[in-house]
A = this chain, B = another copy of it.
Amino acid sequence: MIEFYGYFRSSCAYRCRIALNLKDVPHSFHSVHLRRNGGEHKSEAFLRVNPQGLVPALRDGALLLNQSLAIIEWLDETQPGLAFLPPDPAAKAQVRAFAQMIACDIHPLQNLRVLQYLGNEFDADQSAKDAWCQQWIGDGLAACESVLARQKDPSEFCFGNAPGLADICLVPQMFSAARFGVDTSKMPRLNAVYSACQNLPAFADAAPSKQPDSET
């Protein structure tokens, strides 16, 4: 059975939880607590699973995988059910680009290790950290909104009438936006997609507060 390593608050683990739910993949869960025991992600045991020392990670027999987008595309290619990407290369590239706008240009900047560095090395207090996050999340989501605003016929989800890779990345990022006090009131398409997703159990059940390791 697939073993999934995550942490309730990790945005990247949240993406994978949605993907696992959308495909209804049986799996076991290993909690990797980022703030306990000096950071369980830095333990020798976990570094053998993922030398990068970050969640999420996935084990399937001898196969070890890290990086949420790689995990999600692997699930898409190996598990039956809903397709996370359209088959046409151009359409597929646009969905991937949207996901990467979040995964490469927004989320990495709000990561726990980055916020800890800002505090330790630049004496950033909570309000300075929040301003930092608001800058990158706000700018990044505004660009995401602009991309969707170019569509001639707005669909229920980011790209089409079923959820896919773009929505899988958007929902955890919108959740983080709220957590860091980002104003998303001028992002009607993103909010509409977020609401549509939250109506689906695969998304709602993946929320941080619903996880066995949740502290909220």
Contact = CB atoms under 8 A, between A and B. Distances in A.
A27 interface: no
A81 interface: no
A96 B108 contact: no
Given A101-B66, A108-B105, A109-B109, A71 B93 contact: yes
A59 B63 CA distance: 37
Contacts of A146: 47, 51-52
B117 A135 contact: yes
B121 A128 contact: yes
A67 B108 contact: no
A54 B100 CA distance: 13
A29 interface: no
Given A103-B104, A108-B109, A121-B128, A97 B65 contact: yes
For the residues of A in contact with B, the DSSP-based class is: helix
A14 B117 CA distance: 28
B69 A143 contact: no
Interface size class of A (residues with CB under 8 A): 35 or more
Interface string A202-215: 00000000000000
A131 interface: yes
B100 A109 contact: no
A92 B63 CA distance: 12
A139 to B, nearest CB: 9
Contact of A96 (B51, B53, B70, B121): B70
A117 B104 contact: no
A121 B131 contact: yes
A127 to B, nearest CB: 12
Nearest to A88: B77
Interface in A58-115: 63, 65-67, 69-71, 73-74, 77-78, 89-90, 92-94, 96-97, 100-101, 103-105, 107-109, 114
Interface of A: 47, 51-54, 63, 65-67, 69-71, 73-74, 77-78, 89-90, 92-94, 96-97, 100-101, 103-105, 107-109, 114, 117-118, 121-122, 124, 128, 131-132, 135, 140, 143, 146-147, 150
